[in-house]
């Protein structure tokens, strides 16, 4: 009945998974992933650690196995959150050199740059305010800049902050 080797393996696997979860939390923070995803990974990690502590207190094989199952469950949840969060945070947009804002003609600097998905490319703005102005009447600005823009070509907007493009909400 006693399976100390299996227990040892479970124990080590569970600790490795928790270690990876903590690494993911740090990666999320560095990548500028929204706080709600960080809290989500943090809570599944804490739940799995709590079960581990309970399994130590009861020193029961069943509780230890249950704790391992919870840890694996937490890991799966973490992977799903990570896939979702990183796919949102890792959009690769290249700001062309000497890009100008279609509203005010200012050169667009990388930090704080706004990118608007239009058709198969992006339009860049120097500030969010000008993106809003543009979105109020895209056809007018398109005419001035001799661009072909229809409202159904306009997609999501992104802002460049601390090395990553993040989706802009409420645009």
Contacting Zn ion (CB under 5 A), which of 17, 103, 123, 142? 103
Between 99 and 130, CB nearer to Zn ion: 130
Q: How far is the CB of 145 from Zn ion (least distance, A)?
A: 12
- 101 scored as a contact of Zn ion (CB under 5 A): yes
Q: How far is the CB of 140 from Zn ion (least distance, A)?
A: 15
Site string for Zn ion, 105-134 (x = CB under 5 A): -x-------------------x---x----
Q: How far is the CB of 103 from Zn ion (least distance, A)?
A: 4
Q: What are the DSSP calls for the chain, one per residue?
A: ---HHHHHHHHHHHHHHHHHHHHHHHHHHHHT--HHHHHHHHHHHHHHHHHHHHHHHHT-HHHHHHHHHHHHHHHHHHHHHHHHHHHHH-------TT-B-TTT-PBPPSTT-EEEEETTEEEEESSHHHHHHHHHSHHHHHHHTT----GGGEEEEEEEETTEEEEPP--
Q: How far is the CB of 147 from Zn ion (least distance, A)?
A: 15
Between residue 127 and residue 166, which ones bind Zn ion under the rule CB under 5 A? 130
Judged by CB under 5 A, which stretch of 4-12, 96-104, 133-141, 158-166 contacts Zn ion? 96-104
Between 18 and 126, CB nearer to Zn ion: 126
Pair 67, 54: CB distance under 8 Å: yes
């Amino acid at each position: 009945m006693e399976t100390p080797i299996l227990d040892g393996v479970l124990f080590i696997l569970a600790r490795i998974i928790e270690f990876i979860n903590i690494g993911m939390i740090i990666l999320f923070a560095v990548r500028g992933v929204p706080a709600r995803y960080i809290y989500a990974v943090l809570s599944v990690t804490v739940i799995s650690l709590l079960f581990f502590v309970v399994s130590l207190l009861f020193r029961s094989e069943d509780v230890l196995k249950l704790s391992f199952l919870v840890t694996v469950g937490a890991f799966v949840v973490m992977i799903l959150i990570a896939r979702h969060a990183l796919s949102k945070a890792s959009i690769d947009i290249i700001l062309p050199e000497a890009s100008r804002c279609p509203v005010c003609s200012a050169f667009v600097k990388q930090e704080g740059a706004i990118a608007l998905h239009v058709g198969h490319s992006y339009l860049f703005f120097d500030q969010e305010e000008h993106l809003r102005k543009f979105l109020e009447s895209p056809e007018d600005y398109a005419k001035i800049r001799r661009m072909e823009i229809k409202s159904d070509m306009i997609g999501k907007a992104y802002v460049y902050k601390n090395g990553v493009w993040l989706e802009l909400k409420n645009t």
